[in-house]
Amino acid sequence: MTRSIGSVLGSFRLRLVLGYALVAVLLAGVWAWSLYGPLTQWATDQQRTGLTEVAKVGALTLSQGSGTPAQRAASLARSTGLRITIIASDGTVLADSASDASAMQNHATRPEVAAALHGRVGYAVRRSATLGTQYAYVAAPATLQGVKTVFRVSEPLAEIEGIASQARGAGLALLLVALVLAAGVGWWLSLTAARPLARLQTAAETMAAGDLSSPLPSAPGELGELAQSLTTLRDTMRATIGELEAGQATLRAVLDGLQDAVFLIEADDVVLANRAAGALFHEPASGWRGTPLAAAGLPTSLEIAVRDRLGCETACSGEVGPDPEARYFRVTEVPLGPGAEGARTLVVISDVTSVRRLDQVRRDFVANASHELKTPASAIQLLADAADTAASDDDMPQALVFVGQMKDEAERLRRLVLDLLDLSRLDSVPTPGTITDVRAAATNALAAHRAAASDAGLRLALDLSAVVESDVYAAAEPTDVAVALDNLLANAIAYTAHGGVTVRLAADEHDVTVSVTDTGIGIPAEHLPRVFERFYRVDAARTRVSGGTGLGLSLVRNAAERAGGTVSIESSVGRGTTVTLRLPRTV
């Protein structure tokens, strides 16, 4: 995506070095060029002046001396160190110090010779046809033994070229030195400039990697402004990320605080789930996020309902169940529009099993209560009709029997209604802070049932040995405790033919316990788990004889639970039953 810091700085350095080198080479080149031209020109001018002087003096010397032209040319060449040529006025070369004159061409057309033949000093530079090298020529008019001739001196340009090449060499050396110096300076400057850049780049990469707490380096000049901008960017990012995280944490806390499972489904994948989702269903080992709906472990019926969006186009809800664990769920689905991967749906699932059960319990209770009320009510009606008929037939004894039975049924009805009223009261919220003296409550309950026990020929005893000299107060409503003890004693007396009933009080640091033990018929083990249910009877016929309503033990349980206590039962068929009421103790 981005080039590495090394490559960025590398090219930066290279460009800096190359830039410096180019500038240095240009400057050195211009300087060398501006020196090289005038220097070469000066050397050429010097040579021309020197040759002209020698040509003039040589022309004078030629007219005065004696000897053949060849001798004169050789002698002058020796004394000047130059090449000397003597040319006749028709252009014939009379003598040349550097070669055989007879082999040389006619020189009349040579520019310098032509100028000298016209009485001027001529100058020319060209390649010598005779010697094959570049020469500078100067020719001057002269006379030899009274005859008009041309005296020419010439010198190879090699010397000047030497000077020029020296200048070139110096220029090149200068260029090289400038190049090396420029590269060095460029390199050093790039190193100095790159160091803060590299630090800033490292800081930017650290930020990009998510670390927004490391300090940012300072830098000089414009880089300082860049560092400042980076700091501002970092602070803004930190603040924005902080706000986003806080928002997300709040949303998460809200979601996790919900009792209902919440899923966000995109296409057919879970993209978000709250804590309750994990509690209601088994969270996949890899977490919910990204898990396909089919692999999320939802009960099949629920999975289908969620996948099919409950068959709705808009927000809607429905009930699904039971699942293999006999649970019922209320599912609400809200379409949230398209996401990156597909349509998104918010799914809220609540476990309504207990609500369902409660509904069922209520329905059952109403049906049972109606049935229980209907039985004595119908009996009273029938007995009234029968008594009426007997009275019409003047059969008063029979009529009185029916009236007596009517009274029994009316009593049964009264007890049932009283039990139902107790039940409804025990369903309400208890009054906080109420206290019951359990010793007094037990004493009163025993007093109320003493006559019934005595009628049945049973002993009735109160065992307080475990609570001698200690107060036994329970955090419970006195009416609740009275209802519980009343029902326990009524049962114990009703289901005991011989022996007796003992009420025992005990207390520890936390609880007060009241146990009612009888020596009665007992309850078969398979019925024990259900005896606290409303209207549950072990033996309907026997219960009817005993006058029980089937609500006694459920009233006891409600009274115990209302006070935050418990009730338990132990029984052995033919030997007796013990019911223990445990209530929270208070001072």
- Measured from the CB of residue 475, what is the shortest distance to ligand ADP in angstroms? 25
Longest dimension (CA), the chain: 211
- Measured from the CB of residue 430, what is the shortest distance to ligand ADP in angstroms? 21
Interacting residues with ligand ADP between 220 and 279 (CB under 6 A):
none
- Measured from the CB of residue 426, what is the shortest distance to ligand ADP in angstroms? 13
User: Does residue 492 belong to the site contacting ligand ADP (CB under 6 A)?
Assistant: yes
Q: Is 92 exposed, middle or buried (0-12, 13-18, 19+ CB in 10 A)?
A: middle
Question: What are φ and ψ of residue 365, in 5° steps?
Answer: -65, -45
Pick the closer one to ligand ADP by CB: 291 or 554: 554
Torsion of CA 415, 421, 427, 430, to 10 degrees: -110
- Measured from the CB of residue 444, what is the shortest distance to ligand ADP in angstroms? 20
Pick the closer one to ligand ADP by CB: 130 or 543: 543
- Measured from the CB of residue 557, what is the shortest distance to ligand ADP in angstroms? 9
String marking each residue 553-572 x if it binds ligand ADP according to CB under 6 A = xx------------------
The answer to whether residues 468 and 460 touch, using CB atoms and an 8 Å cutoff, is no
- Measured from the CB of residue 498, what is the shortest distance to ligand ADP in angstroms? 13
Interacting residues with ligand ADP between 276 and 305 (CB under 6 A):
none
Interacting residues with ligand ADP between 450 and 489 (CB under 6 A):
487
Pick the closer one to ligand ADP by CB: 520 or 565: 520
Pick the closer one to ligand ADP by CB: 154 or 519: 519
- Measured from the CB of residue 496, what is the shortest distance to ligand ADP in angstroms? 7
φ/ψ region of 357 (left if φ > 0, alpha if ψ in -120 to 50, else beta) reads alpha
Pick the closer one to ligand ADP by CB: 380 or 567: 567
Q: Is 40 exposed, middle or buried (0-12, 13-18, 19+ CB in 10 A)?
A: middle
Token pair for 403:
């009236």
Nearest to 278 by CA among 262, 294, 254: 262
Pick the closer one to ligand ADP by CB: 193 or 448: 448
Pick the closer one to ligand ADP by CB: 48 or 527: 527
- Out of 47, 350, 577, 580, name the contact with ligand ADP by CB under 6 A: 577
Contacts of 242 (CB under 8 A, 6+ apart): none
The answer to whether residues 133 and 160 touch, using CB atoms and an 8 Å cutoff, is no
- Measured from the CB of residue 502, what is the shortest distance to ligand ADP in angstroms? 12
In the 3-class helix/strand/coil scheme, how is 385-412 assigned residue by residue?
HHHHHHHHCCCHHHHHHHHHHHHHHHHH
The answer to whether residues 487 and 555 touch, using CB atoms and an 8 Å cutoff, is yes
Token pair for 156:
């190879």
Pick the closer one to ligand ADP by CB: 281 or 495: 495
- Measured from the CB of residue 374, what is the shortest distance to ligand ADP in angstroms? 17
Pick the closer one to ligand ADP by CB: 261 or 445: 445
Token pair for 26:
């240009």
- Measured from the CB of residue 311, what is the shortest distance to ligand ADP in angstroms? 47
The answer to whether residues 512 and 587 touch, using CB atoms and an 8 Å cutoff, is no
- Measured from the CB of residue 483, what is the shortest distance to ligand ADP in angstroms? 12
β-strand 459-463 against 436-437: which pairing, if any? unpaired
Interacting residues with ligand ADP between 392 and 431 (CB under 6 A):
none
Pick the closer one to ligand ADP by CB: 269 or 518: 518
Pick the closer one to ligand ADP by CB: 420 or 507: 420
Pick the closer one to ligand ADP by CB: 473 or 495: 495
- Measured from the CB of residue 535, what is the shortest distance to ligand ADP in angstroms? 8
Pick the closer one to ligand ADP by CB: 97 or 487: 487
Contacts of 316 (CB under 8 A, 6+ apart): 310, 332, 333
The answer to whether residues 296 and 288 touch, using CB atoms and an 8 Å cutoff, is yes
Token pair for 391:
């009275």
β-strand 500-507 against 459-463: which pairing, if any? parallel
- Measured from the CB of residue 455, what is the shortest distance to ligand ADP in angstroms? 17
Pick the closer one to ligand ADP by CB: 175 or 416: 416
Interface with ligand ADP: number of residues (CB under 6 A): 23
- Out of 80, 85, 154, 491, name the contact with ligand ADP by CB under 6 A: 491
* Alpha carbons 304 and 180: distance in angstroms, whole number: 79
Long-range contacts of range 424-427, CB-CB < 8 Å, 24 or more positions apart? 425/479, 426/480, 426/483, 426/555, 426/558, 426/559, 426/562, 427/558
The answer to whether residues 149 and 143 touch, using CB atoms and an 8 Å cutoff, is yes
Interacting residues with ligand ADP between 513 and 552 (CB under 6 A):
518, 520-523, 531, 536-539, 543, 548-552
- Measured from the CB of residue 539, what is the shortest distance to ligand ADP in angstroms? 5
Contacts of 126 (CB under 8 A, 6+ apart): 134, 135, 137
Helical axes 158-208 vs 5-64, angle rounded to 10°: 170
Helix (H) or strand (E) run with residue 361 in it: helix 353-392
Interface residues with ligand ADP (CB under 6 A)?
Answer: 487, 491-492, 495, 518, 520-523, 531, 536-539, 543, 548-554, 577
